[in-house]
Amino acid sequence: MIRLEKFSSSIKRVVGIEELTALELNGAKYKVGVNSQHSQNIVSVDELIKFYPLFVKEAGNRGFDIKNIVLSLPLNHYLEARILQANEKPNKIEQLVENITNEVGDKVENIAVYPQAMSSLYYIKKEFDEDLTNKRILFIDGGFNSLIIGLTSFGENNELETPIFHETILNQHGVRDLLEQYFAPLLKSKFTDLSSNLHVLNRIFQEEEIYNGITKVSVKEEKTLAINIYANDIFNKIINKIDSKSLSYDAIAIIGGLNYLIGELNLEGIPVFHTKKNAEYLTTLGMLEKNPDFTIIDGGFGDVKIGANVEKINKTTKTKLFN
pLDDT digits (tens, 9 = 90+) for 14-39: 999 988 889 999 999 999 988 776 78
Domains, the chain, in order of start with CATH, read: 43-170+241-312 (3.30.420.40), 176-226 (no CATH)
What SS3 class is residue 71? Answer: strand
Average pLDDT, the chain: 87
Confidence at residue 170, expressed as pLDDT on a 0 to 100 scale: 58
Task: State residue 112's pLDDT score.
Answer: 98
Q: What does the chain come to in residues? A: 323
Whether 142 and 128 have beta carbons less than 8 Å apart is answered as: no
Each residue of 116-136: pLDDT tens digit? 999 999 999 999 988 888 899
pTM (two decimals): 0.83
pLDDT at 101: 96
pLDDT score, position 144: 66
pLDDT band with cut points at 50, 70 and 90 for residue 171:
low
Confidence tier at 42 by pLDDT (50, 70, 90): confident
* Contact (CB, 8 A) for 292 and 1: no
Amino acid identity of 149?
Answer: I
User: pLDDT tens for residues 222-254?
Assistant: 988 988 888 778 777 888 888 888 899 999 999
> Using CA atoms, how far apart are residues 297 and 68, in angstroms rounded to an integer?
11
Instruction: Give the contacts of 27 (CB within 8 A, at least 6 positions apart).
Output: none
Contact in structure between 283 and 74 (CB atoms under 8 Å): no
What's residue 97's pLDDT?
97
Q: Encode burial over 270-299: b for 16+ CB neighbours within 10 A, e otherwise.
A: eeebbeeebbbbbbbbbbbbbbeebbbbbb
Helix (H) or strand (E) holding 8: strand 2-8
**CB-based contact 198:41 (threshold 8 Å):** yes
| Spatial CB neighbours of 236, under 8 Å, sequence gap ≥ 6 | none
Alpha-carbon gap, residue 51 to 32, rounded angstroms = 9
Torsion of CA 285, 149, 88, 292, to 10 degrees: 10
Q: What is the mean pLDDT of residues 49-57?
A: 97
Beta-ladder partners of 30 = 13, 23
